[in-house]
Structure 1
Amino acid sequence: MFNEEKYIDRYLDDLMPEDESTAFEMRCLKDRDFFERVREREQTRKDAARIVAQADEESFDLKRRNLSESAREWAAALFSHKSAKWAVAAATAVLVILLINRPGYDTNPDLEQQLGARTLRGPTVKAIVPEIGAHVNQSIHFSWESELAEPFEAVVINPRGEEVFSASNLQSGDALDIPLADGLYYWKLLHNGDWLYTGKFILKK
């Protein structure tokens, strides 16, 4: 069965022999509707290439954005389709998914006001690591000085105020591997349920 899109693609990709290419161009001159379909096809291909190039330029990494497996499979299925219109849809869909899952660097006004050691009548903590605003990788060292007996607890919070990671039985000097996407996070140090300190760090693997 004749496939006009593939026929036009062969011309646009310069895959036709000279005699067939000449016949194609003559048809464009004689058949305005066909000529318009060729122009539309060419523009669609350009749009698809531009969107894919934009995704490459931003160096997005699907695995490091914590996308669900189903979302990755869906995007891959769309990209595997040979139609240029489907390619545009696929590229657009992936860009939307990536934007939704991009690293969060927005701040939380309430948590910003809580940064630092909480003022308490009893023993408090000092010399906190990581320092406020520190850049860290996936393995983060936590340390502090306090008269309180160990262990402590650390809770990591995203800019939306949602708890995304926690560790109990924490001792000063411990290193934790935090399986989160790159971005800005807040963390709280607790002792027996009492909040002692709020910090923030920027995770960059």
Structure 2
Amino acid sequence: MFYLLDILGTLAFAISGVLTAINKKMDLFGVFIIAFVTALGGGTLRDMLIGHTPVSWMRDLNYVYVIAAGFFIALIFRGRLSKLRKSLFLFDTIGLGVFTLVGLEKGLIAKLNPTVCIALGTMTACFGGVIRDILCNEIPVVFRKEIYATICILGGTVFFILMELEIPINVIYLVTSGVIIVVRLMAVYYKWALPAPYKY
């Protein structure tokens, strides 16, 4: 199930990248590259920082196949995908929770400090979108609206608190991803956002 959710999150991020690139009127190669970096940019950067090479998608080509599938799905059904944005948002939110856990686990395997593990989890979940927005000449969404990265940090904090309580790891996975998913849904619904200095 964990792997399946990871794949679904990858698919959702890839489709998100395709739609963004189409809006920027890129050619097919540009659209595919944006889909690729959106889905795998965060994980690639994480693996390089901790010296885990070849990086994950090079060792498991299923991720590349999923991105290719998302690329073609988004191209063929781009007219209808606007009607499915709520579903895509849900998958994106699930991906956020799963990718945060993946980053946390990678940090634990590398025997890194909990603070660094939380940073890796946040990077895994968010930096694909950051790279996408930079390549599309936009200020990254994560820096200007929604409490996207902050939610990952919250989830990582919950993860390590539960570990200190010696709760079974599967329960920790469920609770941590559940916190991230629920808080993100609530943040979007209630329009929560961090204060911006220019408003004061």
Same fold (TM over 0.5): no
Class of the TM-score when normalised by the shorter of the 2 chains: under 0.3
Higher Cα Rg, which structure = 1
TM-score normalized by the length of structure 2: 0.26
Structure ranking higher on relative contact order (CA contacts 8 Å, 6+ apart): 2
Bigger helix fraction: 2
Bigger strand fraction: 1
